Amino acid sequence: MTTTVSEQLDESKEISLWECLHDGSLDEVSSDLMARSLTLVVDVPYHWEFYQLPSDTRFRIVLEGTRTVEALRFEPWPGQRDIPRTTPWEEAEKQRQFDYSMGRLESTDWSEFVSQVQAEEGYEILHAALKIESQSALLLRLEVLSYPNSTFRELCLQAERLRVFVGPERELSLEEFLKFGNAYWEEFSARAAKLKGST
């Protein structure tokens, strides 16, 4: 069952941004220390195609009143074991999840991470969620992976406000942003159901 936008916004926990940013690429990260702002530029080509927007369209996610910016890396648990190829998928997945739960996240150098993004390492967004902690505090969490070298980072970005732009000038409210992302996947699900029904 699909969660509606209003239900997502009513959640006191995390608001998933999966529909908006999943499989998008993090193209740029920039900061204005004087203004206490951080800007993430994200390319999600299937949204631009769906909405018939120019291919150079990008999301600009602007965090204002930034308080914390962290880039964490995953350190695997040394006790994890190799999973034989003959292992059933369910059993292998259970083992992978257990091994992952035994690992930990370690802090890395933020400036180094930004320089890697600027060097076009191609960080793809695997997970994105927003937690509104109060009227003046929010936490944006992104999990990203650079496929050229399999570098994983979890970004934890705490700020006072979040603003989202499509292209250079069009600003979306959080509700509009969620609806923007949901529309593609609703259409995708409808097409998949139609194809399944025709077979």
Q: Cα separation of 25 and 17, whole Å?
A: 14
For the chain, the domains span 5-197
Question: Does residue 61 contact residue 162 with C-beta atoms inside 8 Å?
Answer: yes
Q: Checking DSSP bridges between strand 123-134 and strand 137-146, what pairing results, if any?
A: antiparallel
Over its length of 199 residues, how does the chain's per-residue pLDDT go in tens digits?
333 444 444 445 789 999 999 999 999 999 999 999 999 999 999 999 999 999 999 999 999 999 999 999 988 888 888 888 888 988 888 888 888 889 888 999 999 999 999 887 779 999 999 999 888 899 999 999 998 778 899 999 999 999 999 998 899 999 999 999 999 998 878 876 766 666 5
Q: Three-state SS for 42?
A: strand
Q: What is the pTM of this model?
A: 0.82
